[in-house]
Amino acid sequence: MRARLMYGLPLSIGVLLLFWIDHIFAMAHCFTALVAIVAVMAWIEFAAMALPARRGWRAAGVPAAAALVGAAWCCLPAHMHLFHAAAVPAVMFACLFAGAVRWDAAGASFSDMAAWFAGVIYTGYLPACFLQLRSLEDGEALVLACFLVVKLGDTGAYFTGRLLGRRPLCAVSPKKTVEGALGGLAFSCAAAYGSARLLLPDLPHGAGVVIGCGLVLGALGQAGDLVESFIKRACGVKHSSIVFPEIGGVLDVIDSLLFAGPALTICMIALS
């Protein structure tokens, strides 16, 4: 926990600085670059776990993850339907085909290809959805609110579990407890209400809708954490950390955001 605070605080300040630069210059270039860098680093960590013996396939995933973020940026703001329906499959199949032509296609198994597809979706497509969230009305505030709701939920789950945790939540992550999960959901709901009051004062929805969104985002954040734990357990590794190992790696930092960000995007589009 001490290491996470020592390294996580400067990283959080750096991210907020990028938000400020984007806001001052009324552009999203810094945010787009940040999402692309995070997607590539997350793919590198995922591929090291899931495809340790497939160096070529690991390399093919780097341009795929970056290209998905680039495709999302090119489709903003009016053509995101083209990104979801056409650009995503086109980018993935093009990179997969290039990898099959260039690298050990004959030795690849179906499980390798399935892991490659799943990894690119997980580390490339899901982060790219944050660009659509950023492009919505009050997008900067929505991205920051999503981060606060999920991460304060993580923090609440950790401390509630330490203080009150008795019943294990699931075998995938033995240290997590039911009490911690419930505490995290309570923190997420409180963070959603506070974020709406401070960052989105003109939001036309009542407290019930806001708290409900906080509950959903908190639950999806915890689900994202459990999914990453399941991936590590399935791959037989304890840590995914290659980049920033002091805080568990990039995947450990963003895992709880990967499902919450796209879900918030869908919620805001549906409620608008």
Return the closest-CA partner of residue 207 out of 221, 197, 218, 220: 197
CA distance 231 to 252: 11
- Which tens digit of pLDDT belongs to each residue from 131-178? 989 888 888 889 989 999 999 999 999 899 989 988 988 888 888 999
More confident residue, 93 or 18: 93
Residue with tokens 């963070």: 191
CA distance 176 to 171: 9
CA distance 116 to 121: 9
- pLDDT score recorded for residue 43: 94
More confident residue, 16 or 93: 93
More confident residue, 59 or 10: 59
Cα→Cα distances 196→15, 71, 221, Å? 20, 30, 18
Backbone Cα Rg of the chain: 19
- Which tens digit of pLDDT belongs to each residue from 192-238? 999 999 888 888 778 888 999 999 999 999 999 999 989 988 888 87
- pLDDT score recorded for residue 104: 56
CA distance 12 to 9: 5
* For the chain, domain boundaries: 1-135, 137-272
